[in-house]
Copies of this chain bind each other. A is one copy, B any other.
């Protein structure tokens, strides 16, 4: 295992320490938890947004904490759901009296634990709503998922629901935006190499030197096809067309070409070129494009493509200010 770490069972705490050392004025850790919140914790009168899940997907989710996006992130152990008590601590830390909104990727452990935390918080008088993101069109069920997996499209939920909350919207209004994003966002990924969970010490699967896997999940869950590596143009075509087949995209979209961890930015831009060509040939207009590492899988080499259909409201929210370290605009 080639990693720049100290003890494998210490990686999440070390990472949080390093994240907060880098952002001492804007982020802090809730003591005795793996919960990261804005330095001011709760913003009175604002609906608070929380996301989280297993670590190893950085900058998701703690990098998206900041004005215009999240209020807190709950960091589980690597590829492991955070426990309900940790999520409850996050809810209590950021509640500003206007309710708390949970953004959950669709993995069975996350869904159960966030739901349980929501019930515990409601029992304490805190209003909680949630959305479950299931943007991955590759497979209908998977290793850790009933229904579709939540992957990089989750970042658009953070951005747009976060912008809505920052405008002073109610919990119901924030949920409506999040639901609209989930209804209109689709993603699909592929990988060239596996990744290694530090505590496991070895890759969770293998890919031969000439193999790639299409439709793989961000924890290495099986995709829809394992075959010989093809060109960037072919890969972009497979991912984009599967997405376009799944949802009636027309008008304007946002594009996210996301690196899974070890893919050079050069390759992401090469992918992006072809994604734009395909969209152009279908008469779909790209309003804004994001290329980079937004939802990773440790050091997996590979990428995903995400499309989000936009209306006027979503465009305005996409353009709104964000001060999150990993999503400044």
User: Does the CB pair B329–A262 fall under 8 Å?
Assistant: no
User: Does the CB pair B270–A11 fall under 8 Å?
Assistant: yes
Given A262-B301, A296-B264, A301-B262, A269-B4 contact (CB < 8 Å): no
Task: From B21, B232, B264, B299, give the contact of A14 (CB < 8 A).
Answer: B232
Query: Within the assembled complex, what's the spacing in Å between the Cα atoms of A231 and B10?
Result: 12
Number of copies of this protein chain within its complex: 2
Q: List 20 A-B contacts (CB under 8 A).
A: A2-B212, A3-B264, A4-B192, A4-B270, A4-B271, A11-B266, A14-B269, A15-B266, A15-B269, A18-B271, A22-B269, A22-B289, A22-B290, A56-B266, A58-B265, A59-B265, A261-B264, A262-B262, A328-B328, A328-B329
- CB of A235, distance to nearest CB on chain B (Å): 6
Q: Which of A19-48 contact B (CB under 8 A)?
A: 19, 21-23
Among residues of B, the one whose C-beta sits closest to the C-beta of A75 is B266
User: Does the CB pair B21–A273 fall under 8 Å?
Assistant: yes
10 closest Cβ pairs, A-B complex? A18-B269, A262-B262, A18-B273, A58-B265, A18-B272, A22-B289, A4-B267, A21-B276, A328-B328, A2-B192
Task: From B231, B298, B329, give the contact of A264 (CB < 8 A).
Answer: B298
Contact with B along A210-242 (1 / 0, CB 8 A): 001000000000000000010111010000000
Q: Report chain B residues within 8 Å CB of A151.
A: none
- CB of A259, distance to nearest CB on chain B (Å): 9
Query: Within the assembled complex, what's the spacing in Å between the Cα atoms of A194 and B58?
Result: 23
Q: Is A293 an interface residue (CB 8 A)?
A: yes
Query: Within the assembled complex, what's the spacing in Å between the Cα atoms of A296 and B302?
Result: 17
Q: Is A17 an interface residue (CB 8 A)?
A: yes
User: Does the CB pair B56–A231 fall under 8 Å?
Assistant: no
- CB of A184, distance to nearest CB on chain B (Å): 21
Q: Is A209 an interface residue (CB 8 A)?
A: yes
Q: Is A145 an interface residue (CB 8 A)?
A: no
Query: Within the assembled complex, what's the spacing in Å between the Cα atoms of A257 and B22?
Result: 10
- CB of A59, distance to nearest CB on chain B (Å): 6
Task: From B21, B271, B289, give the contact of A272 (CB < 8 A).
Answer: B21
User: Does the CB pair B265–A14 fall under 8 Å?
Assistant: no
Q: Is A263 an interface residue (CB 8 A)?
A: yes
